[in-house]
Structure 1
């Protein structure tokens, strides 16, 4: 009633859409055998299915009325009484102070117990602070108000000086940061700009004008490496060193590519014009709360202006940015933003498949707008329906190579993922994908 509801957009539906294409497939999809057993009937083999079953089980007694009324998307919000929010995890929500903190207490009905029969989790109370400014968050960690904290490369020297604190280098993050241009024909942007952005050679020229090594060094203190494709070294086994060809930082070649498309400074004012005489001017957005993205934006602005491209760089509130990206009239031209990555590539289907809600440069296409998007769609669909691990890996690699070649997203850099934690915990095992078995954590 929720995940397969056409009126409730969600990533689980995007992931299942590759297999449940006909109404009869949905109708026959699942049935209850007894109160604790479900039977799923899939119309064909579907390799990622068990992973998709990790989608949360939702409480019918709390949410059914909102589904029937068509108000599910507004059911739980920041003004909801915490007692109304019911889940199945190790903790339940006890208190929420808007813009300040969330307090959790152990769920007395949580199903997991340790080997001795003691109910998990061991730690019975947790507080998560909501802090917009990363410098303030670092100060809270440094002064002992917080017990563990994600460490930016710029925080490193501060953290290594702290006593009774351990620093965990988790390796390259699976998250990607990128520049994306709006290619959506329905978007509220000038049509001549749409033609620029839809041209793969224009995007390649922009990509060649970005100094990824400089970003890695100056923004991330050298604790990052250039990124040229949609996955990072954290995405084993799909990533390998030669998967994506390096895109050199080469302003001269980038300028030649643009000239080959008819861009030139016709009126000698220092800025390029397109073949129709329109000044090449781009409004670039990012979220104002992220200092790294702001620094990247300033570097990109400087490099593109060396090419003769005028850039108006405008950091805005994150929620306002997401609304522009994901909802009509899609009023944006270029954005620096990121994706968190996923263990199984199929869980990124809503980004890479042309029908996906997060196919952000041109979302929710009824039919693929380009031949290369059609090819990526076919590769993702095939990879989900074969059960051979080796075959799936190769199919996804083929799709990633196409994406890297076409540059719908211009990938920038992969920083290290680091966490600082006070030396007060046992069974604390952080990874780039989250904490391992965090229910078993306890205090020394």
Structure 2
């Protein structure tokens, strides 16, 4: 059957189809004039996508968007990322790189249609071959370090079959119904493609074990050396936007010019993609702004200083910075977006930790309750946020599925005496040094880790005295994201503070990563636990997710999701000590078309939903 699309989405698709007679009306940025390029009409697909949201003005070309550099990774990637599909601000997955899709009656075969005539940023045609090859060569062989995502697995865990139909059509076939494939794809994989003409030989060398040849080819592509083929595949095929010489479909690509092409250097530039495939309602090829520049900063405070003196144009800031911005009387607009996390200052226990003593303790609800109530949340929140936020718990916010006042306040009272009684009920024994030990005399030490520069180190300094006063000894170490990722995959992390991604999001259905063992990056929450090692309510959670995967009815899916959330409420596997905060964006008033009322969510790609290709500068 044809996938039913909402009236709004259908209208969007109609407006996105510019007839051939309008080709002559396409215009390009003046910076492209005089370059050795085909005419703009020849660089566009037959049916380009039109950015026509109601809030968007017709913009003007030129200028640069200035940012404080942050070393690459998602900081640069999310704002410019383009996937086959994307979410609207209403949470609907809509065609993006893809033009449309069909799905058969039992949701086992999806047919994806691409935009005829679309091109990579180097001018080479983008076709179904790039999508099919990426899955079969890169994903199935785990070349990009991620392998087969959950969006490509059927209810039995078997991988989908991806096949080319023609240059602009491919199919994705599952062994069992996959009702949420488009939504899951938009969360899990996003792009589902890579430039085959650039990477085919390199990837084949990795598959064939010709590592030296693969490394040489990788260096030839982006001018950089990689430690091994694992790093090569991960960096060039997953974090590809951070490397020069790699064609993309994004509105901006990293410069290849020396001194401007290193995202970890002092200065870098992302320049406009001359083959970008989107236009505004007037037929102007996007983006409006010529380039995005990054300037290195030495610390977080410097980011605010650069924003206030006009060196940079926008920054996501903490609410504690807002008075300083307002008092500066600078031309900066503050935009408040809703947050999606289940509280802030979260602590996560590895429920499948290798140490058997800790594993038993972490899976004991009384221990988690004790760790929750031994902290004075209101005092902690006041110290961490200068009184801007109050205490909170890891629970859905008002308006989110599963919210209840009882859950929002669960285990939030401050009661050290009760916490100690709970610790002792778990079999812990107070030692002569004032800290609890296990009953066999083994020291209890919680080794807490976090990502460097996440702010967790400062948080720990305020949080640790509460633990110490309750008799819990802790250590703390923060590390680079790559080191944390490796330790998580090796199940070498015991406890995480302020993890890479907080538990919660706009939908447990769309993104179960932090809420169900065995999904994607959730080693931060459940270690390497899956259905073979989970027990009790954790196993029930996995079973409900499997039931959700084979349920077609929206009402029934929502009912299952609520059951899953009830298990979280009953067990409180993750703790938060501070209420969730909105996301605040401080934006120079010269930047136009910034999304005023957004939701800060990884599902929406954080800043990505603001569509920076539509921003323009009003001097």
TM-score of the aligned structures, taking structure 1 as reference length: 0.86
Higher relative contact order (CA 8 A, sep 6+): 1
Structure 1 366/391 Cα, relative in aligned 2: closer, same or farther at 3 Å?
closer
Structure 1 6/300 Cα, relative in aligned 2: closer, same or farther at 3 Å?
same
1 CA distance for matches of 2:267 and 2:447? Answer: 35
SS at match of 1:32: strand
Q: Equivalences for 1:328-407 in 2 at 5 Å?
A: 328=490, 330-338=491-499, 339=501, 342-360=505-523, 361-363=526-528, 365=530, 367-407=532-572
| Counterpart pick for 1:137 among 303, 308, 316 | 303
| Counterpart pick for 1:114 among 280, 305, 316 | 280
2 CA distance for matches of 1:436 and 1:41? Answer: 33
| Counterpart pick for 2:336 among 169, 177, 182 | 169
**Deviation digits for residues 46-76 of structure 1, max 9, x if unmatched?**
3432224442121112222343214365134
SS at match of 2:405: coil
SS at match of 2:320: helix
Shift, 1:139, TM fit: 1.3
Structure 1 63/242 Cα, relative in aligned 2: closer, same or farther at 3 Å?
farther
SS at match of 1:354: coil
Structure 1 179/80 Cα, relative in aligned 2: closer, same or farther at 3 Å?
closer
Equivalent residue number for residue 169 of structure 2: 37
Shift, 1:309, TM fit: 1.4
SS at match of 1:283: strand
2 CA distance for matches of 1:105 and 1:20? Answer: 44
The runs of 5 or more residues in structure 2 that have no matched partner are 1-135, 208-228, 601-605
Structure of larger gyration radius: 2
2 CA distance for matches of 1:232 and 1:115? Answer: 37
Shift, 1:281, TM fit: 2.4
Tell me which moved more, 237-246 or 390-399.
Answer: 237-246
Equivalent residue number for residue 420 of structure 1: 586
Equivalent residue number for residue 613 of structure 2: 439
Structure 1 239/4 Cα, relative in aligned 2: closer, same or farther at 3 Å?
farther
Supply the RMSD in Å over aligned alpha carbons. Answer: 2.9
Structure 1 208/366 Cα, relative in aligned 2: closer, same or farther at 3 Å?
same
Structure 1 16/337 Cα, relative in aligned 2: closer, same or farther at 3 Å?
farther
Q: Equivalences for 1:35-74 in 2 at 5 Å?
A: 35-54=167-186, 55-56=190-191, 57-68=193-204, 69-70=206-207, 71=229, 73-74=231-232
**Deviation digits for residues 114-143 of structure 1, max 9, x if unmatched?**
122211111121113454621111111111
1 CA distance for matches of 2:168 and 2:145? Answer: 27
Shift, 1:101, TM fit: 4.0
TM-score of the aligned structures, taking structure 2 as reference length: 0.63
Structure 1 365/239 Cα, relative in aligned 2: closer, same or farther at 3 Å?
closer
Q: Work out whether residues 253 and 272 of structure 2, in 8 Å CA contact, stay in contact via their aligned partners in 1.
A: yes
Equivalent residue number for residue 180 of structure 1: 348
Equivalent residue number for residue 310 of structure 1: 473
2 CA distance for matches of 1:182 and 1:399? Answer: 19
SS at match of 1:348: coil
Equivalent residue number for residue 150 of structure 2: 14
Q: Work out whether residues 352 and 377 of structure 1, in 8 Å CA contact, stay in contact via their aligned partners in 2.
A: no
Structure 1 124/243 Cα, relative in aligned 2: closer, same or farther at 3 Å?
farther
Tell me which moved more, 353-362 or 148-157.
Answer: 353-362
